[in-house]
Structure 1
C-alpha cells in the first residue's frame, strides 16, 4: 500500500468516525481525539513554545469541534480542519498575550505526567531522537512549521497551505527552501537529511 492509499484510507476512517460522532456515538469523537491529540499538541508547541499552553489550546480546538460539530463539511481532511482550528487559536492566544512573559518553576518543569511522557515519546520517535528537533529549533519558524506538516505529519501541499494560510505554490517554495536550509545545517554537524 503506498502513501496516497494510506492517506485515503485514513481520511475515510476519519470521515466514518466523524459521521458516527454526528450521529450521537461519542466514541467516534474519542477516536479522533486519540488519533490527533499528540500531533496537534506538538504542532501548536511550535507556535507557543510552551507545552502546557499547547495542550490547553489543543483541548480548546477539540472543544470547538465538539460544540460546533456541524461546521466540518468534509471538503478537507479532518486533520487539516483540526490543525487549522488549532493554528488559529494559537495565533489568537499569541496576539492576546504578547505582552506577557512566562516564568517556569523548575520543580514544575521536572514533574512529568504519564500523558506528557507519552507525548515526549511520540516527539522523540517523530524527530529521529532529537537531532532534527534541535536543528528545527534553530531554523526560521516558518521553515520549521512547514517541514513538520509536510515531512513529519505527511500533510499534502494543499493541506499544509490550508493550515498555514498560504497558497500551494507558496508552500512548495517554502518547503524547498526549508529542506535546503535543514540539509545545510545538518551537513554542518556531519549528518545528512534525505527527503
Structure 2
C-alpha cells in the first residue's frame, strides 16, 4: 500500500488527505451506481468509507495490506453499500451454483424481508448455519457481498487466491453434501 498516503493520514496532512479524497471519489460514485443507490447515499457512503480508511491507517491496520489504497477503500465502501441495501430492504440478485445445481434456477432474488422462501432457499439457509465460521465468512463474502477472490484475500487473513479458492470450494462441497440427501427424499 502507498506508504506516502498512509503517512498523510497518520500525521494529519490536510492537503494530501483532500487530494486523496478527491482522487477516488468520482470512480467510487460510478462504481456505486450499479447498486441503484442515489448520488447522496453514495456520497455519504464514500465519506464514511474514507473516514474508516483513515482510522485504519492511524490504528496501524494498513501496515500489512497488500492491495492498493483504492482497492481497500472500495472494499470498505462495498460493505457499506450492502449494509445500506439491507437496511432499505432492497432486492439483491445472488448468483449461486448451489441452488442452480438442485433446480433450474440460475439467479435467485432474495428479499431482505422474510418473504416465502423456496425449498432450495430454505435448505440453503438451514444448512448454511451449520457450516463453520470460516466457511460462512468466505461464502458470504463471495456470494452475498459479491466480492472477488482478490477482494477476499485483501480483506481477510487468507494468504493467497488459491487458498481462498480452495476454502470456497471445500465449503461449497460441504454445503452441497448436507443438502443433497435431503433433495433425494
Structure with bigger strand share is 2
Q: Which has the larger radius of gyration?
A: 2
**TM-score w.r.t. length of structure 1:** 0.43
Structure with bigger helix share is 1
**TM-score w.r.t. length of structure 2:** 0.45
